[in-house]
Structure 1
């Protein structure tokens, strides 16, 4: 069965659910996505924090009804999206030699 047919079948089942069940399904999917993101972050990032910094971050996370991992991921992603792209300049070997041989 192709993916488009399978997706269409799933959509038909979902549309047949009551609106309450559809909302519950959406909530469940969102929670699973958050759990997956949390697992990915936990798997790849290690932070060393002072106890005071950790408590401050935990309070901020709790104020937003989020776990510490969810909060840190949200903050980090928002900051990353706001960070301007770094422009890269590619030099030829000749130009690189000119730059590196210039007097400082």
Structure 2
């Protein structure tokens, strides 16, 4: 009777597991079990934490660039409004309704 013993690590429904078992090569049947893979789980958790930190930094950079762009746009708009007022001879007050 020829048996092949196997051990395979994979992620099942988001959980790191190790499948351990054997297969009878003549009958093509066998048994196995799943065990929690704590070592791989810690590695995956560390990778995920690094990914989340990277994304948080990218979001911060985006927000800073957006704020900078908004400030520049606002300043350009204010400068344009001042130029228009100077060309029109000063500030004109609108009549209240």
Report the TM-score, using the length of structure 2 for normalisation: 0.30
Larger radius of gyration: 2
Report the TM-score, using the length of structure 1 for normalisation: 0.28
Please identify which structure carries the higher helix content. Answer: 1
Please identify which structure carries the higher strand content. Answer: 2
